[in-house]
Every structure is written in C-alpha cells, then in structure tokens.
Structure 1
Amino acid sequence: MRLLSEPIAIIRRHRRAYLLLNAAFYGLFACAMALTLLAPGLQGFFKPDIDQAYLKPGILKSVADAYASENLLLAIGLTFAVNLAVAVFMTTLPSLIIPFIGILAVLQRGILWGIMFAPIGPHPAMLIPHSLTLFIEGQAYVLAGFAAYVHGRTFLRFDHYRLSSSWEAYKAGTVSTVRLYAAVILALLIGAIYEVLEAIYIIPHLL
C-alpha cells in the first residue's frame, strides 16, 4: 500500500531518530509510572482535574457520554477526532512555526500518561487491557513527534538534502509530514477502535 510505503521509507531514512524518540517516550512513561508507584500522591495531584474535564460541557463530556451510552460508532469517531486534534494542534502545527517544539508536547504526554495510568487504587488490573491502547496511541503521538523532527531537520539542513533554499526545504519537510500522517491516522484509528471496545466490553468485567 503506497500510503504506508512512504511513511515506512521516511522512518528507514531517519531510523535512529525514530528509535530514539520511541525510547524517550516509552522510557519517560515507564519512569513516571515507577515514580508514581513510589509516590502515589502524584496521581492524586493530576487526576481530579482531568476527571472533572469529562464532566463539564464540551467535547470531552460528549466522548464520555458516547462511551456511557455504548454508542460504538460515535465513541470511536469522537475518540479518533480528539486524539487527531491533539496530535495536530499540540505537536505538528507548533513545529511548523518553531522547529522541533512539538516533540516536547509528545514527551510531556509520556510523563503524564505514566502518572495517570500507574496501577494504583482499587482496580489495578484495568491497566492490563488498557496497556495496548496506550502503546498504539502512544505510537501515533511518537510518529507525530517524529514528523516534527523530520520537518525541522529538513528545514534547517536544506543543503544536506540538496535543496536550493530554506523555503524549498520547508515545503519538502511539510510534504514528509503529510506522508507520515498516513501512519499517524492509521494508528489513531486502530487505537480508537480498540479503546472503545476495551472500555465497553472488557473493563466492566474488571471492576
């Protein structure tokens, strides 16, 4: 499939950066989770505000309502849309203005997830099925951060890529970003489908 062959080719071209970004994201996730297991109060510092966001009128409450009503298609669609918006507006668009800046948002998410999903509290077994969701959606954000890296590197080192100017490099980096988003979108779609099925059909049996 050409849509995926192009992202794969870009990943191969920048294999080291892709692997380092994966190591950084999942490494920070693991470290934050371990730290939260040692200091459970960290989760209590962040979790109430996030839980409250799902109760206030807005898109997150709409997502929660779709899950509660077991409306599969709506829940999948909203989950996918919210996660895609996060990738675009917190990682990709900022990096088109300030090179690489969106990578910080990706790494911050790894830390936050480690704190939020540390298996403490009355239902630690929930992490078992949810770990796959975190891996798939985490990979989507890593790919978005990787796209920010590719764009920034192309823009700042245009002579290395035999491009005539910074503007030509900026456009070439944007094209690479769009191509990588085929993989981002696929990962987010798979993640949304699994997350909804997991939340509706698996998690209730663990409560």
Structure 2
Amino acid sequence: MRFLRTPFQIIRANLGAYLAMNALVHGLFLIGVGAAFAFPDLRAAHLASMDENGTTGLVTSLLGSVWLFSLTIFAVNTLTVGVLTILLPSMVVPFAGIALFTYRAFNFGVALAPVDETVAKTLIPHSLTLLIEFQAYALVLLGAYLLGRSWLRPETAGARNRRQGYVRGLRQVGWVSLPALALFVVGAVYEAFEIIHLVPLLLAD
C-alpha cells in the first residue's frame, strides 16, 4: 500500500506545484496549436522534419502490431522524454528539464493542431491519449521541480544541507515516477490501439 499512498501524499503536499506543471503542459500545447493555425508553414516544417529524421517511417512500420507499437511509444515517453529530456538534465542543473520540456510540449501542439478535417477526426480518440500522457508528464515535471527545490533549499525537504536535500529530492522523484509509469503504460497501449484501430474507422467515414 505504501507504493500507492506515498506518491499521493507527495502530490497532495505539493498540490500547487502539481497544478502548475499541469498548466504548463496543457498551456504550451495550446500555444503550439495556436501557432500552427497562425503560421501554417511552422506545422509543415515540423512534419517535414519528422519525415527527414525517420519518425514518420518508424510509426508507419509499426502499425502492424499493437503491442510492438505500444512498447515503442512507452520507450519514447519514458526514456526519450521522461528520463533524457526532463530528469537527467534536472539532476545536473536544477529545473533544466522543465525548461527543455517546454519545447516538446509546444511541438506537440504544432503537430496535432486540427488544421484540417483529417487531423480533427484523429483528435477525437487521441484526446484521451493526450490527457493520460500529459498527466504522466506533469508528474515527472513535478519530480524535477521537487528535486530542484530540495537541492537549492534543503530545508523544504527537512534536510540539513544541499547534499542531503539532493538525495531526498531524488527519493521524491522516484515516488512520483511510480504513478507516472503506470500512466505511461496505459497511455501507450491505448495510443497504439486507437491509432491502429479507431482512427482508420473514423477516417473511413
């Protein structure tokens, strides 16, 4: 039960920061959506870069298997975004990962802006994916925030010095990462299912 109780105790104790991380993720996504409408070339350039770096080709090659696609989505969300973009930079420079993630959140909005009927239909089932994954990102961002705060202000974590504060911050990162991982699993499975099975049905109408 501790695995369930402790993360939610941390979230409740830092509810303001958690809500701020949610606002950051959703707000930057909406700004990206607005930018895609205001500057159509921005979205075109983003999609072209996905073609060039192989992202589009990778997604296409995985459409034959829900489980392989799910595993790939999970790996990208946890390792590429959660660990490499948010947590590792924040372990070197306080809050650095939060700043780096803002670029990704903005690009999510640019890529998924409902600029035409096809994308708008796709967003009907995909909106649930966004809600699930954005909550997971908000939890990881909360962990990065708590680490930075404990590091710079050890007294907020009940620590005597910054070294001890850093260690306690890492523990908090570990705890809030547990529900984030669960959400990433659910989000990956649903995203693969809806892209492979639900979206084609909508686009066929």
Q: TM-score under structure 2 normalisation? A: 0.91
Gaps of 5+ in 1: none
Partner residue of 2:149? 153
For residues 51-96 of structure 1, give each alpha carbon's deviation from its aligned partner in whole angstroms, at most 9, with x where no partner exists: 333368xxx72x54222x2x22222112111211121011001100
Alignment length, in residue pairs? 201
Mapped to 1, the partners of 2:10 and 2:60 lie a distance apart of: 36
| Residue pairs, 1:162-201, within 5 angstroms | 162-201=158-197
Match of 1:160, SS state, is helix
Mapped to 2, the partners of 1:195 and 1:163 lie a distance apart of: 41
Q: Is the 8 A contact 1:106 1:141 kept in 2?
A: no
What is the Cα deviation at residue 132 of structure 1? 1.2
What is the Cα deviation at residue 119 of structure 1? 0.6
Q: Is the 8 A contact 2:67 2:192 kept in 1?
A: no
Partner amino acid, structure 2, of 1:89: L
Backbone CA RMSD of aligned residues: 1.8
What is the Cα deviation at residue 122 of structure 1? 4.9
What is the Cα deviation at residue 108 of structure 1? 1.8
Partner residue of 1:104? 99
Q: TM-score under structure 1 normalisation? A: 0.90
What is the Cα deviation at residue 174 of structure 1? 0.5
What is the Cα deviation at residue 42 of structure 1? 1.7
Percent pairwise identity: 33
Distance 1:161 1:79, change over 3 A: closer
Match among 118, 124, 128 for residue 132 of structure 1: 128
Mapped to 2, the partners of 1:42 and 1:152 lie a distance apart of: 33
